A and B are shown apart, each in its own frame.
Chain A
């Protein structure tokens, strides 16, 4: 009955949705952000631990939401680990494009491998009401990185 939805709900999405990776609170995080999708009730909190050189040493999250938003957050935490903050922001921008259009215009670039993994979520572009489920985690990451001047907590 739902076979043509396997494009959206690929095995990797279902797997990460069911068992999100890095689903934990990071004690002593250097950055923290919150994301909220009031329409759907999706909520997430995200922590970043930075290495001395400013790279993302560890990224973890907790929250509630649909399979798409949980899987997207889970894949994101794996993908941005070890990246510089600039790379993480560039990935966020490219991911947004991927989610909205289904294609990634400059995926041939330096972040090709990373984008290839995220391609699993490209199917959401056919579901306009679901795009924001996929992008919530990345907005939250940007918000966390923007919290540079503040204490670890964004409150």
Chain B
């Protein structure tokens, strides 16, 4: 069942081999094979990541940027090496454009505080969409309350796509200073037309922030080709550790932005009377950064690049097609969102079972899915559903697992009959 997919023009993508890189995938759940379909919430870790972090702590650990001794120098080199790897991963023009944060949430909050209060003017607007994760909604609500920026919300169509006419209408008066939207929805799986959005935003004098928390895991991201101005993602969804996220922004934006958190490492000079901020990116990395996590993220990036983002994307496209076919055939199952361009995230509801009852059943047979509203309450309201179950794929997901899910859903419906 775990077939070998050989995408055209790529080396063979051998799922069975890849699965051996992830120790947790050989764990049993209540005696059953683990079928982990919650990678969208957080992905499992390959041995390469686990070992890189352990090795760092065993052999090369010290604080960074602070000691003139060997260990501190090698830790600094490892940390800065991770920054170079991320710059390569996003095709950033300059590695100094990479700011390490604690998560996507922390990165968006950094932009909301620094760019939001320091650069945007009260009375300007921020434009988001109905399909944002709370991480790309609440910081803008907080900015609105604190700073007087307007918050506009672009609609999502019934198919689960961004309504581009509505985006255009909401940009039209030129008051939007920043458009902040997801690059891929964590509920609908929809991939948004990022390059097009960048053009639209720029034509109306707005900057574009893309929340790449989901997208960066499934597609090759080239921030220069996309033409966006800010890009954020989070390490733990990219097979890396928790506790690290990334903010990429154009150098001139980072230079114009005031610091967010104050403390050690973010200054070039301090007296009791005041401070001079350090140059970018240190300006935004106050305090001891996530050093071990940066090393883990570096290993994760090496790992996915070793397989090839194009190969990963082709494998997942295959799984998405399979899932569309299999899930559509389950009687009584409603899929939320039918975007043309989509990734491996499927939210669904059964007509005779509540999402939590369904998740309990699936868990019984080893299938881990998320149930609830997936940190996207307004989106559930938009589609008039109380809650859904969500299956999300990773590079280790197999066709057999997709089939097993579909089979279990059919049986679950019978169970509740």
Chain A residues proximal to chain B, CB less than 8 Å: 1-2, 4-5, 8-9, 14, 39-41, 64-68, 127, 130, 133
Contacts and interface: CB of A to CB of B under 8 A. Distances in A.
Interface stretch (B51-59, B161-169, B409-417): B409-417
26 contacts: A1-B365, A1-B408, A1-B411, A1-B415, A2-B361, A2-B365, A2-B412, A2-B415, A5-B360, A5-B364, A5-B415, A9-B357, A9-B415, A39-B372, A40-B371, A40-B387, A41-B386, A65-B354, A66-B354, A66-B355, A67-B354, A67-B357, A67-B416, A127-B360, A130-B356, A133-B356
Contact of B361 (A5, A39, A68): A5
B373 interface: yes
A5 B364 CA distance: 8
A127 B415 CA distance: 18
Interface string B16-53: 00000000000000000000000000000000000000
A8 B412 CA distance: 14
A82 B354 CA distance: 31
Tell me what chain A mostly uses at the interface: helix, strand, loop, or mixed. Answer: loop
Contacts of A40: 356, 371-372, 387
Interface of B: 353-357, 360-361, 364-365, 371-373, 386-387, 407-408, 411-412, 415-416
A5 B361 CA distance: 7
Contacts of A68: 356-357
Contacts of A8: 360
Contacts, number: 46
Contacts of B408: 1
B411 A66 contact: no
A14 B411 CA distance: 16
A74 B386 CA distance: 20
A41 B411 contact: no
Given A8-B360, A67-B354, A133-B356, A2 B387 contact: no
A64 B357 CA distance: 13
Given A2-B364, A41-B372, A66 B412 contact: no
A8 B364 CA distance: 12
Nearest to A40: B356
B17 to A, nearest CB: 29
A86 to B, nearest CB: 33
B316 to A, nearest CB: 27
Contact of B364 (A4, A64, A67): A4
Contacts of A67: 353-354, 357, 416
A1 B409 CA distance: 11
A39 B377 CA distance: 11
Contacts of B355: 66
A37 B365 CA distance: 26
Given A5-B415, A14-B416, A41-B387, A66 B356 contact: yes
Nearest to B412: A2
Contacts of B357: 9, 66-68
Contacts of A66: 354-357
A64 B349 CA distance: 15
A134 to B, nearest CB: 12
A130 B353 CA distance: 15
A68 B354 CA distance: 10
B151 to A, nearest CB: 23
B373 A41 contact: yes
The 6 closest A-B pairs by CB, nearest first: A66-B354, A66-B356, A1-B411, A41-B387, A66-B357, A67-B357
A7 to B, nearest CB: 11
* Most chain A CB inside 10 Å of its own CB: which residue of B360, B364, B371: B360
A127 B357 CA distance: 11
Contacts of B364: 2, 4-5
Contacts of B412: 2
Contacts of A1: 365, 407-408, 411, 415
A14 B412 CA distance: 13
* Most chain A CB inside 10 Å of its own CB: which residue of B353, B356, B415: B356
Contacts of B371: 40
A127 B407 CA distance: 23
Contacts of A64: 386
Contacts of A14: 416
Nearest to A43: B386
Contacts of A9: 357, 415-416
Contacts of B365: 1-2
* Most chain B CB inside 10 Å of its own CB: which residue of A2, A68, A130, A133: A2
Contacts of B416: 9, 14, 67
Contacts of B387: 40-41
B167 to A, nearest CB: 29
A18 B413 CA distance: 14
